[in-house]
Amino acid sequence: MTTPEKCFEQLCQHVRQTNLLTATQALLEWDQQTHLPIQASEFRSQQITFFAGEIYRRQTDPRVGDWLGELAQTPLAEDPHSDTGSTIRELQREYNRKTKLPQALVEELAGLTSRGQTIWVEARQKNDFALFAPTLKQIMGLKKNQAAAWGFDDCPYDALLDEYEPHTRTAEVASVFEALRVDLVPLVAEIADSGIDLPIDILERHYPPAAQRKLALAASRQIGFDFERGRLDTTHHPFCTELGPHDCRINTRFDDSFFSTAFFGTLHEAGHGMYEQGLRSDWYGLPPGKYCSLGIHESQSRLWENLVGRRLSFWQHFYCQTQDFFPQALNDVALTDFYRAINRVEPSLIRVEADEATYNLHIIIRFELEQELINGNLEIDDLPLAWNDRYQQYLGLSPPSDALGVLQDVHWSAGLVGYFPTYTWGTLFASQLVDQATEDLGDLDLLFRLGNFRPLQQWLKENIYQRGMQYSPRELREKVTGKTITHQSFMRQLREKLAPLYGL
Amino acid sequence: MTTPEKCFEQLCQHVRQTNLLTATQALLEWDQQTHLPIQASEFRSQQITFFAGEIYRRQTDPRVGDWLGELAQTPLAEDPHSDTGSTIRELQREYNRKTKLPQALVEELAGLTSRGQTIWVEARQKNDFALFAPTLKQIMGLKKNQAAAWGFDDCPYDALLDEYEPHTRTAEVASVFEALRVDLVPLVAEIADSGIDLPIDILERHYPPAAQRKLALAASRQIGFDFERGRLDTTHHPFCTELGPHDCRINTRFDDSFFSTAFFGTLHEAGHGMYEQGLRSDWYGLPPGKYCSLGIHESQSRLWENLVGRRLSFWQHFYCQTQDFFPQALNDVALTDFYRAINRVEPSLIRVEADEATYNLHIIIRFELEQELINGNLEIDDLPLAWNDRYQQYLGLSPPSDALGVLQDVHWSAGLVGYFPTYTWGTLFASQLVDQATEDLGDLDLLFRLGNFRPLQQWLKENIYQRGMQYSPRELREKVTGKTITHQSFMRQLREKLAPLYGL
């Protein structure tokens, strides 16, 4: 008879081999975004589809179920937060989710969302929601089937949310988002009524891309991204991807007449990247060495992008270097004016261009709508109207077209439902993390003014990175901060920063 | 009962799926050479080893043998030069070669050559052949076992040569190389005795790498490399790799104080690349859409690098552009001086830095020695002395150290035995091709002076690229030129070019 330890090793060995494939799949996709010759995409799709099938086959291999079944009753599973216990728990969770879906549904969804993205691109170009509506109906139908196959207690959307933010319920998110909205909408109105409009024209001067790239490299290196174990490349859509335990690639785009796109985009992706680089490499691709949830991941990117990157003390350290990189654009600009420009708050129509404050209203709208679509309180045909109503209500704006409204994001066409809320969920937690880090490390501004980001990175490494999936997102948050998730840290920090800028 | 057509389709389907893996393997390797973060190489090796195993498993799948067995007696196999006939013939050949090797030998050789390259690097650094000798003995021992497993008629080296240059015998290569040497050694001596030394200092001025890259892109585009189906990237060791039917990547290195490295290196790799791009993409990875042999491949790179790229008419078209890219280095240099510099012939110790003429003497030495090692006429311990003797005899030079002698090439440490002769084998054929193209297309110089490389590329496409492996290398050569391989075209063209330069 085989010992639990041997059984555990077989299971891990199987997963480690699968990880060789998933890392390869990630390389195929990274290369597609950054280097692939234009005529090579058809063959690349064939490769990606083939590997998706192989990976699925390995993940649903009945032996995985057998090993997990054997291990469940052994001492290795006893402590759910230990390396072995969390491995068994999380692999069982993944196995259940994979095997509960009928193969036909998986394939139908893959095909539909692949076509769906093409149709969405066309519909957005033509500003024609009706062109996309039939496909979106089909996609949402399949997502409901997916939710039913997975099972849920309260509502179908729970099952979808759980894919990205494990063990998190719709009702909890709805209640926190509601409280956030109730505080945030008046703050944004107060800013609009202040009569102060922070000018951003200095950010729209000419910023040579080569110098932007050098600055982005310097900044991400200084905050702690390790270039011996990662890279920075150029792409159309910024992203961060992990191609192995020591190979994290962040990708950004350069707009030669807007400073913020590449700079804050790179800080954001570097925040994701530092999380990946800080995971335990000896457990690569296994739960103790995997990121906890999308919300926790986003807390890391938002923390470095906004809570560090848009902070006065960061720029007290960093502004001189920045002026040296862009003498023509910035030599006549005082630090205070630069700092004001990068912190302007103003309602806008497009999520990916939104500021730190109003961004979350964009997310709340998407969360509310997709939840209603899945739970059956909203029909696709009524979606554009509902979208525009909500923008009017929360942001005081009416989208002049569906292209600038309901058709702006790729997510739904790609079958990503339950994904949007993790952006704001992570943002809220990032603020709670900064409060806790301040308690543990003292005044962060004293460190940042000296360009010393290492204590914060080390603190995150100990408290977040190195814990992988040992704890559920909720457990992890409570272990680090001692608190449940709320919007209060976020709102307080935001108000403290904006009050002097807008004379609130 | 299944029809021959269905059986053929199953076989092709299996190979096409394997090709998804081999193309992925090629991407893993390309990325390793061009982008991989320094600390990521261990994991990348694991991926490459894993895929090597998967690919081997698929290539030796007994079903392949069964399908081929069934097909051998059908009408599909009747015409050996048809698409189906050449597919069946060449896949059978590959299947035999793969399955004849015991798994243990394959693994032992993979492990030994992987370690062997590391040991070779150290031995070369320390200029210590004795450090490398025991490993080289083991490698050559395994290569002999490999030859025995494959089987041969005349001598063991035949079996190894056949891996890179199918259906080619050692005796034939030896006889052609002997004739070449007998003519080439006196020509090189004549040049040395001419009292003329073409100065190359103008090639050693400062050439900014960014401009070199632009020129390399322009030149490879103009001769016909398709950048919608390929790329040019930077690497330490120049190479060309194919990552799919429409994804050929050439890689070069830039030396800021030597013009020739990147420029002629890129033309060389672009020549390989145009062959790959000209293959029939609907038969991608199957014999009708695969390159014929390493020798034929090398004929394509040498043709564009030397027979086009070092030709006066090429530079009559191209030199003005080149001066525009490097005004500081070249504005005071006349075309004739530039042309003389890029055609200097002078014996040297290092193969990869050798000129167009003496390069082949480096190859002949390696061919003679490795052949003697495998066939048992030379011992490893006597190799350095034999190497140095041969250099003295053919090139009039005595290597001052093994690092600059027998330890200079990676090939043997990597288990590549039988590979070297294909370099010169291809070079000789390239000259025969140019003779034939001149007969078919008329005076090539008239075209090149106008920058018109398309007729030659089209001619190669029809005569070489599109034929894939339908013919054996010998058949292909004879089909295109009507001649067996000889050194005569090469020697005549070389002498015609060099005579006016050296007053011969």
The Cα A297–Cα A289 span in angstroms is 13
Say yes or no to pLDDT of B1 above 80.
no
Closest-approach residue (CA) in chain A for B231: A37
Task: Tell me whether residues B246 and A39 touch, CB distance under 8 A.
Answer: yes
Task: Indicate whether A1 pLDDT > 70.
Answer: no
Average pLDDT over residues B463-477: 98
Chosen from A22, A44, A235, A281 to mutate, greatest number of chain B CBs within 10 A: A44
Q: Is A269 a catalytic residue?
A: yes
Element (H, E) at B249: strand B248-252
State pLDDT tens for residues A233-250. 999 889 999 999 999 999
Nearest CA in chain A to B30: A31
User: For chain B, what is the mean pLDDT?
Assistant: 96
ipTM value for the complex: 0.93
Prediction pTM value: 0.94
Contacting residues of A for B229, CB less than 8 Å apart:
37-40
Contact A43 B229 (CB under 8 A): no
C-alpha triplet B64, B67, B464: angle, nearest 5°: 75
A-chain residue closest to B23, CA distance: A47
pLDDT over 70 percentage in chain B:
100
pLDDT, tens digit, for every residue of A170-190?
999 999 999 999 999 999 999
Name the residue among B427, B206, B132 with its Cα closest to residue B304.
B427
- Write the pLDDT tens digit of every residue in B358-405: 999 999 999 999 999 999 999 999 999 999 999 999 999 999 999 999
**In 10 A of CB B151, how many CB atoms?**
12
* pLDDT tens digits along B122-146: 999 999 999 999 999 999 999 999 9
If DSSP states are collapsed to H, E and C, what string results for B91-105? HHHHHHHHHHCCHHH
| CB-CB under 8 Å, A31 with B27 | yes
pLDDT reported for residue A114: 86
- pLDDT score of B237: 87
Give the span between the Cα atoms of A418 and B359, in whole angstroms.
64
* A28 to B24: CB separation less than 8 angstroms, yes or no: yes
Q: Which positions in chain A touch B251 (Cβ < 8 Å)?
A: none
Asked if B245's CB is within 8 angstroms of A37's CB, the reply is: no
Tell me the average pLDDT across B448-460.
Answer: 98
pLDDT(B236) > 90: no
B27-42 average pLDDT score: 93
- Percent above pLDDT 70 for chain A: 100
Q: Is A219 helix (H, G, I), strand (E, B) or coil?
A: helix
Question: What confidence tens digit (pLDDT) does each residue in B321-366 have?
Answer: 999 999 999 999 999 999 999 999 999 999 999 999 999 999 999 9
pLDDT at position A295:
98
CA–CA separation, A500 vs A477, rounded Å? 31
Contacts of residue B448, defined as CB under 8 A and 6 or more positions apart, other chains included, come to: B308, B311, B313, B314, B316, B317
Q: Which three-class secondary structure string do you get for B134-185?
A: HHHHHHHHHHHHHHHHHCCCCCHHHHHHHHHCCCCCHHHHHHHHHHHHHHHH
CA-based torsion, A324, A326, A330, A335: positive or negative: negative
